[in-house]
Amino acid sequence: MNPWAVDAGCPRSCAVRPAARVGPAATGLRYAALARELTRCLALGERLAGDVAPRVQARRVLGALGVELEAPTAPLSAPGSPLGTLVVANHISWLDVVALLAVEPVSFVAKREVGRWPVVGSLARRLGTQFIDRDGGRHALPLMVRELAGTLASGRSVLVFPQATTWCSVSSGRFRRAAFQGAVDAGAAVRPVTVAYRVGGRTSTSAAFLGDEGFGGSLRRVAATRGLTVRITAHPPLYGDDRRTLAAGAWAAVSAGQASVHA
């Protein structure tokens, strides 16, 4: 059995075009603003790996796309510990990473293909991304866990999407347990986080990046959406020495957060 085998996720048909859309001229302005912000990110060079620049630039990218952020003012990392925090969230879109970086600059784990995306791959490497090779077989999994534990032990928080692929609803996926072993080995806290998208006060899948959809198609849908809001809900930190228990607790917290958004 391949340890990197993941659920197929939602088909691209789950990503519904928004009923509320901006016109072509406004969409063009958003593309231009996004290009300016990405150019600014690249110009920052190594400074993009600092504690302030990623948060500022992430918020500017959201603003360029017309996306409103609802998020806590406190960092996602658990307070009062010299260790980093394993931040785990449900996965809906590539926009999830931007929204979470807008709350706190953290490293994150991503599939190796992301490192080959134009511009995005370069920026991800500068942010200290740990890339996963899902074709690496069973020997790659312990290496990933060791690297993750080492990053957490160094005091750097790490963002992981334990569903391993994108879903339009958190209740459709499940949390894989491997990443939680990194937190156990480092003695680090786990911070469950719920990511949700809304348009006009109602849950929306317009930002979802699903199935075999290309990045360009997802970006066009986001740029054309009027009134898109991403809400970040941080739940109380979890502690423990059993990855199965931590994964179940994190899943329960994130699922409850999603249910409250729907309500």
- Sequential DSSP letters for 147-191: HHHHHHHTT--EEE-TT-S--SSGGGS---SHHHHHHHHHT--EE
Q: What local confidence, expressed as pLDDT, does residue 104 receive?
A: 92
Segment 85-101 shows an average pLDDT of 93
Segment 89-109 shows an average pLDDT of 90
Segment 141-145 shows an average pLDDT of 83
Q: Coil, strand or helix: which one is 142?
A: helix
Contact assessment for residue 143 and residue 183, using Cβ atoms and an 8 Å cutoff: no
C-alpha distance from residue 116 to each of 63, 77, 111, 228 (Å)? 25, 29, 10, 28
Please, how many CA atoms are within 13 Å of residue 127, restricted to the half-sphere of its CB?
33
Is the pLDDT assigned to residue 202 strictly greater than 70? yes
Is the pLDDT assigned to residue 235 strictly greater than 60? yes
Is the pLDDT assigned to residue 245 strictly greater than 60? yes
Segment 44-67 shows an average pLDDT of 88
Q: Coil, strand or helix: which one is 72?
A: coil
Task: Please state, for a pLDDT cut of 70, what percent of the chain lies above it.
Answer: 83
